[in-house]
Amino acid sequence: MAKQMIKNLLRKGSAAAVALTLALASLALGAVTNPSAAEDSYSFARCVQDKKAANVLVMMDESGSVYQSDPNNLRVAGAEVLISRLQRVADTYSTPINVMLAGFGDTFVQRTDNWVALQPKATDGSDSLVSTARKFAQKTPNMRETDTLSSLYGATNALAAAPSNSCKLLVFFKDGLDFQSFNKNKPTVDPNFKDIQAMLDKGKNPQAEAAAIDEICRKGGVADALRVDDNIYTFGVALNTNNGQNEGLDAFRSLIEGGGSCGTLPPKGKLLTVDDSSNLPSLFGSALDPDFQPSTHHGAFTLAMPRALASVNMLSSGVSSTFDDFTITLPPTCSEPAPIKITRGTDINGQTVGNSVKVTAKWAGANPADSQTLNVTVSHTDLADDKCWVGSWTINPGSDTNSELYFDADLSAVATFTNDAAVLVKGEDGKASQSFKLAVQRPSDSSVVPAGSLDPALDFKITGYLRNAATKEPVASSWDNTVVTKATVDADQTLSVDGLDLGDYELVLTMDVSVKDFTERLSPISTQKTIKIGTPAAAPTISGVTEFKDIDGANRKQANVTFVGSPDADFEISIADMKTQVNAVQFPKDIEYELFLPAGTADNIKIGKNATVTVPVEIGVKLEDGKTDVNAQGAVRGQLLFAAKAVGVQQDVSQVKGEFTATQLASANPISQILWTIFFMAVGIALPIGALILITVLLSRFPDKSVSGNVTSAAFNVQYANGEVTNAAELTSAAADLGKFGYIDIAEDRKSATVGMDKFTVKVNPFGLKAISHAELSNSSEIGANSTGDDKPYMSLNLGSEWIFYTGSTSVDLFAESSTGSGTIVLIVSYNSAALTAPELMADFLRTSSNILKKLPEKSSAGIIGSDSSGFDFGSGSSNNSGNTSSNGNSGNDGFVGI
Amino acid sequence: MDEFNANEGKQPLQILFFGYAAVVLVFVASIVLAPKGIGAWAPYLLIWLFSVIAYVAPFAIFYLANSKVEREHASFKYDRKVVNTARFGLLVVGLASSIYISFFLATEISKALNGG
């Protein structure tokens, strides 16, 4: 009991501000003389009633600490209660409500498949959402961080993608003291924040966290991007707050409610804090009407239900696990007097009692069989039969249970303007007014209820105020002092304003119902109506702005704006006018924009009466003095405001608004541009060269044993004089002697071959297209020729049959007409193919020897002066079809014969 | 080419042809796709990589395939100058294409670095 009292105290404490607000609001119901005293209270249902479209995003903390802070997963029960209430709004206003469930932790993670529609009078949407919500009880990989920046960025984008005229509600549940915290081991952030990721990669977590908070809170940051939408409201629930005393909570409160350093646009939101998770179902349930305090009961209670009320919703939380006898006993006059018993874990889906009362009960929580939270709605479905409705009710939810009761009379006050044109025309004196009628409607079926037909015990007061549609700030109007009662509701009403700017406003009407002798607190029902304060001649409108797409650095970017002319007069759009401006609400840090006309376009563009005119405009970064480049990038969103002056009509200059989006790109730095180009050019050149070298170096070698095992070789001394071989007969004879030939000696690495006393080593020249790989004599001063026509003493790597002749360059007389001396002839004889035999090879050598010997002096001198034919010959590429005159079966030494 | 002996082997010239085609294809793709926006450097990097592969891979494959032809047909003779010119041409055209693309890649990287 004591524990419960403490809980109640805490709950009441956390709602102290709410109570104060309500007290002020109650005073305001009497007479609000100063518009600044009128508090704007949020009502999701009111917005849905006006806009007929809604998107609700529930972002639930999935970070690791939440599983300790809320071990019974009552946040799941809270989400279910919220889903149930959203379904009621959908049913009441016959409007589908789109809901998305998402996780908050390392980043924003959608848990539903985009938006799930809660269709009126249907249950499949809510069933699907409840099933998804229950998964919040399970741990996910999205639990390592409290990355508010990434998560809020995702949520903002999801809501921004929803239709602009939709009522948008972000329910943001956060646990713990940290406002922004990255994982110490492997921190991550949304890819759109590369500079922060760079800090994290360098281990600069504190700096990264400060930068992340700045990215949320700066002008044009994520907080502003969230607040810019006229129809968005943020409802925050903070759990485990150290009794509200910590910096993280202050930052979170500033984000949701303003009042701190987070965000520059007016906030539209409310934060409720709690340190005991048992209150979470109730807190989540209040998201749709956070300023209302319902009737509460502890333990069993009775009600004297009047005829005037249409339904009651009971949220019972903290149902003891040992109590399993939740009962509702309807009046004894009911034909079914037995108590309605609601067994734990078993829902009741629209059970009818006594033909006039419908009961729906849902156990909320990750595991309904252990649920401590029950959400019951009892409705009076047949108003003509009140036997089961009017009278004394007894509700027994268990002695430890707290119950919140929301009573509903199914009535609302709706303003009806003539021809549904809620436009107040501002005169030259700055005043504007218009009359309208008030109608009392039943929201459930939109039927109008004449005041005379209302239950005599029911009374009401209707009060109202006017507020700016964008900022939701109340503004002065005649309704600040107006109270309409049941007796005066049928009279003509007037809305008057004085000195207000042109633009969109909302008239909010609140119907405060009371029932004679009924002491429970009744939910006030409010409605809103969009009002326009305009000029005598209505300004043109913008039907569309084509996308600017990428704004490249400081360059201007063009888009087309389509104006729809006024039905009343011609107008002129002036780009030079002070009222023409770019109102960007999301943009990269420290960047401002301005509008230009494309070169050669004249200002004061005429928008004829009823004409549709497309005007090209340019947007560009407003550069600071001395700056020429833009050092930031990111999404840009906002409004283009154009000054529109009526031609021939004396009235205020209007501002015509059009939404725009763009993406700002940073300027390219010319130096880094050149350096990077050179870098990639170098890589582009290096890659083929590298590939070439790799191929030739790795693969240029003699064949393995399977080939070289069938190759023999021998070296013979060649004597020559006056350009003729003098021991030709001896050589011919030796070549025929197989005993002089042995298997060729190939080194283990197959990079060299030894014949006689000489060693031929593989030489690789990847750039030489003719001789890309061959073996050369170890003594580079040797000159000579071979049978493949190389004119050099090279050995082919394919080990085909060939001869190689060489002699020392120093032994050749440079000035002799023909050579005299000695050299070596090497015969390579392959048995792998039908190639030439040793005698044939020798004969071939002897046949060409005179030519070879004649060239020796020339080759010797070339060797001395350093002539080198190797190197790049990509372009020239010599042909091998002329040199190989001997047709010895060896095509030359080009190729990877050693593979 | 008058001594070209078709009976003993054949240059795998179609590899070079595919190389030229790949270079042109990637070049045209880079113009048609022209990645834009934040992070455009990533698709440009991919296109640049393709542009390099488009000429390096056929060049290397031709090199290997051609040497295989020569090895297996020892007496094979052909007009080496024409083949070398075609091979060198692929390198030049491919490199020119990749340098063109690398300029845009460098621009996008520069923007990304400048924009933080």
Contacts of A396 (CB under 8 A, 6+ apart): A300, A325, A326, A327, A329, A339
Contacts of B6 (CB under 8 A, 6+ apart): none
What DSSP element (H or E) covers A162?
none
Task: Report, as an integer, the average pLDDT of A760-772.
Answer: 66
Q: Please write the tens of the pLDDT for every residue from A74-104.
A: 999 999 999 999 999 999 999 999 999 999 9
Residue type at position A521: R
Answer yes or no: do B70 and A894 touch at CB < 8 A: yes
> What does DSSP say about strands A357-364 and A373-380: parallel, antiparallel, or unpaired?
antiparallel
pLDDT at A280: 92
Q: Does residue A899 belong to the interface with chain B, where contact is any CB pair within 8 Å?
A: yes
- Greater confidence, A557 or B64? A557
**CA contacts within 13 A on the Cβ side of A159:** 34
Q: For residue A690, what is the nearest residue in chain B, using CA coordinates?
A: B56
In DSSP notation, A577-643 reads STT-EEEEEE-STT--EEEEPPTT--SSEEE-TT-EEEEEEEEEE-PPTT--S----EEEEEEEEEE
The region of weakest confidence among A420-424, A527-531, A824-828 is A420-424
In A, which residues are within 8 Å of B36 by CB distance?
Answer: 549-550
Residues in A 823-862 with any Cβ partner in B closer than 8 A: 833, 835
Three-state SS at B103: helix
CB–CB of A256/A190 below 8 Å? no
pLDDT at B71: 60
Mutation site for B-interface testing, chosen from A586, A677, A689 by largest number of B Cβ within 10 Å: A677
Q: Does residue A623 belong to the interface with chain B, where contact is any CB pair within 8 Å?
A: no
Query: Cα(A50)–Cα(A526) distance, rounded to whole angstroms?
Result: 11
In B, which residues are within 8 Å of A681 by CB distance?
Answer: 98-99, 102
Task: Tell me: pLDDT of A878 over 70.
Answer: no
Query: Cα(B116)–Cα(A664) distance, rounded to whole angstroms?
Result: 12
Query: Cα(A306)–Cα(A393) distance, rounded to whole angstroms?
Result: 11
Scored b (16 or more CB within 10 A) or e, A845-871 reads: bbebbeebbebbbebbeebeeeeeeee
What DSSP element (H or E) covers B68?
helix B41-72
In A, which residues are within 8 Å of B63 by CB distance?
Answer: 692, 695
Q: Does residue A398 belong to the interface with chain B, where contact is any CB pair within 8 Å?
A: no
Q: How far is B84 from chain A (nearest CA, A)?
A: 6
CB–CB of A207/A171 below 8 Å? no
Helix axis angle for B41-72 and B80-114, nearest 10°, is 160
Give the pLDDT band (50/70/90) at residue A496.
very high
Nearest-5° Cα angle at A165, A162 to A170: 50
Answer yes or no: do B81 and A687 touch at CB < 8 A: no
Task: Tell me: pLDDT of B4 over 70.
Answer: no
Residues in A 586-605 with any Cβ partner in B closer than 8 A: 588
Task: Tell me: pLDDT of A863 over 90.
Answer: no
- Both tokens of A184, joined, read 């110490």
Task: Report, as an integer, the average pLDDT of A681-685.
Answer: 91
Q: Which of B51, B52, B84 sits opposite A769 (nearest CB)?
A: B84
Question: CA torsion A565→A569→A575→A578, rounded to 10°?
Answer: -130
Q: For residue B5, what is the nearest residue in chain A, using CA coordinates?
A: A881
Sign of the Cα torsion A304, A309, A310, A313 reads: negative
CB–CB of A509/A450 below 8 Å? no
Q: Which of A681, A688, A878 sits opposite B56 (nearest CB)?
A: A688
Q: Does residue B46 belong to the interface with chain A, where contact is any CB pair within 8 Å?
A: no
- Greater confidence, A110 or A524? A110
CB–CB of A774/A762 below 8 Å? yes
In A, which residues are within 8 Å of B79 by CB distance?
Answer: 879, 881
Q: How high does pLDDT run on average in chain A?
A: 84
Give the pLDDT band (50/70/90) at residue A775.
confident
Query: Cα(A345)–Cα(A321) distance, rounded to whole angstroms?
Result: 11
Query: Cα(A1)–Cα(A96) distance, rounded to whole angstroms?
Result: 42
The pTM score is 0.66
By the 10 Å C-beta count (0-12 exposed, 13-18 middle, 19+ buried), A398 is classed as buried
Which residue has tokens 């027994």?
A396
Q: For residue A879, what is the nearest residue in chain B, using CA coordinates?
A: B80
In A, which residues are within 8 Å of B85 by CB distance?
Answer: 875, 877
- Greater confidence, A886 or A153? A153
pLDDT at B9: 52
pLDDT at A817: 60
Query: Cα(A638)–Cα(A595) distance, rounded to whole angstroms?
Result: 13
Nearest-5° Cα angle at A19, A472 to A466: 25
Query: Cα(A272)–Cα(A253) distance, rounded to whole angstroms?
Result: 9
In B, which residues are within 8 Å of A553 by CB distance?
Answer: 111
> What does DSSP say about strands A311-317 and A402-408: parallel, antiparallel, or unpaired?
antiparallel
Task: Report, as an integer, the average pLDDT of A400-410.
Answer: 91
Phi, psi of B30 (to 5 degrees): -65, -30
Q: Does residue B3 belong to the interface with chain A, where contact is any CB pair within 8 Å?
A: yes
pLDDT at A493: 92
By the 10 Å C-beta count (0-12 exposed, 13-18 middle, 19+ buried), A453 is classed as exposed
Residues in A 170-209 with any Cβ partner in B closer than 8 A: 191-192, 194-195
Give the pLDDT band (50/70/90) at residue A361.
very high
Query: Cα(A250)–Cα(A177) distance, rounded to whole angstroms?
Result: 10
In DSSP notation, A542-582 reads EEEE---EEEETT--EEEEEEEE--SS--EEEESSSTT-EE
Answer yes or no: do A879 and B60 touch at CB < 8 A: no
Task: Tell me: pLDDT of A320 over 90.
Answer: no
- Bridge partners of A442, per DSSP, are A447
Answer yes or no: do A891 and B77 touch at CB < 8 A: yes
Three-state SS at A500: coil
CB–CB of A483/A29 below 8 Å? yes
Q: How far is B32 from chain A (nearest CA, A)?
A: 17
Task: Tell me: pLDDT of A738 over 60.
Answer: yes
Q: Report the percent of chain A where pLDDT is more than 70.
A: 89
Nearest-5° Cα angle at A684, A678 to A686: 100
Task: Report, as an integer, the average pLDDT of A104-109.
Answer: 94
The alpha carbons of chain B give a radius of gyration, in whole angstroms, of: 18
Three-state SS at A517: coil
Q: Please write the tens of the pLDDT for every residue from A125-172.
A: 999 999 999 999 999 999 889 999 999 999 999 999 999 889 999 999
Q: How far is A680 from chain B (nearest CA, A)?
A: 6
Task: Report, as an integer, the average pLDDT of A209-222.
Answer: 92
Contacts of A449 (CB under 8 A, 6+ apart): A411, A440, A441, A442
Phi, psi of B31 (to 5 degrees): -80, -40
- Greater confidence, A792 or A462? A462
pLDDT at A891: 37
Residue type at position A383: L
- Bridge partners of A403, per DSSP, are A297, A316
Q: Does residue B37 belong to the interface with chain A, where contact is any CB pair within 8 Å?
A: yes
Residues in A 520-579 with any Cβ partner in B closer than 8 A: 549-550, 553
